[in-house]
Amino acid sequence: MLKPSLPLFFSFARSAPFAEDAGAAFKTARIEIGYTDVGPDITLRRMVARNANPKGTVLFLHGFPETLLVWKDITTELAKDYEVHAIDWPGYGLSSRPAPTKFSYSPRDYANVLAAYIKAERIDRSNLTIYATDIGSLPALLAAIEEPDIAKKIVVGDFAPFNRPEYMYESLQNLKSEPAASKTRKYMNETSAEILENVYRRGLPPEKQFDLPRDVFNDMTRGWEQGGITSADAFYHYYSHFTRDQDHLETHLGELKTPVKVVWGENDLYIKKAMGEEFARRAGTTLNVLPGIGHYPHLQTPQDTVAEIRAAT
């Protein structure tokens, strides 16, 4: 992967969902997009918005098939009060894509990447909120089991913490074992354009469906394949270790001491909210079910994600 010699800087304008509640106090955030090395084979693209006197730090972890740009409007809004970080996971966006013989793309390896990023960026863990969705959630929880002080609070949602295939969309069930997993991987790579166009719309009635900002869509499209490895390939490798790491979380759930909150889209097609209900109950924490929302709350109603962060910090 080629890295630019200097970081890239953007001043993002406020998007429509925030036009009513920001008011005159809003100042356009200067957001830096650059790269951070977190291991011998891993360089992460990361987005950071600085604040001279932050109330705290927020780190966003995206899902499939996203990139860090899905957080740009939310970052712009939160940067008024917080230092905000977002990363591309290995296998997504413009982060590294090492061969699976060097990096497994498992939730456990992603947990290690998360911890390494926090260390590399010298983020103050005592005032850090991690907001993770989809494939980002299990790694955040695994990291917290290993290091309870990894963050002040973790918000997770719309993921499969335990091995409960019955709660999962059929194609996700298929990724958990062979030979169905390889067939699903092949199909996802053959239909990448359709996935990128519609994955966030599925399960929503017509009046709830929405379009991605063009720059976000373009970044996801550009980030689908780099160095001969696609995001579907990374997703496949993630799932090949998924059951093992789900079982580890369930077995060690009692060791999860970091405060956790669960947020779930009521109409999530991919992971039923019953999964969120079970996890919240067993983890002894609260569950916020978002009415009329699907698998991607931060894309459908980003203002709700901003409110969730403000309430959590």
pLDDT of residue 9: 38
Report d(CA 298, CA 2) in Å as an integer. Answer: 30
Report d(CA 109, CA 113) in Å as an integer. Answer: 6
Q: What is the pLDDT of residues 193-204, one digit of tens each?
A: 999 999 999 999
pLDDT of residue 5: 32
Is residue 138's pLDDT more than 60?
A: yes
CA distances (Å), origin 276, targets 137, 201, 300: 12, 20, 19
Q: What is the pLDDT of residues 141-192, one digit of tens each?
A: 999 999 999 999 999 999 999 999 999 999 999 999 999 999 999 999 999 9
User: Domains of the chain by range and CATH?
Assistant: 8-312 (3.40.50.1820)
Contact status, residue 300 vs residue 140, Cβ threshold 8 Å: no
| 24 Cβ contact partners less than 8 Å away, ≥ 6 residues apart | none
State the CB neighbour count (10 A cutoff) for residue 73.
24
Report d(CA 270, CA 276) in Å as an integer. Answer: 12
* Confidence category of residue 21, pLDDT binned at 50, 70, 90: very low
pLDDT of residue 29: 57
What is the helix (H) or strand (E) element at residue 47, kind and residue range? strand 42-49
SS3 29: coil
Pairing state between β 30-39 and 8-11: antiparallel
pLDDT of residue 175: 98
**Average pLDDT rounded to a whole number, residues 113-122:** 98
Q: Is 59 exposed, middle or buried (0-12, 13-18, 19+ CB in 10 A)?
A: buried
Angle at CA of residue 195, ends 224 and 102, nearest 5°: 35
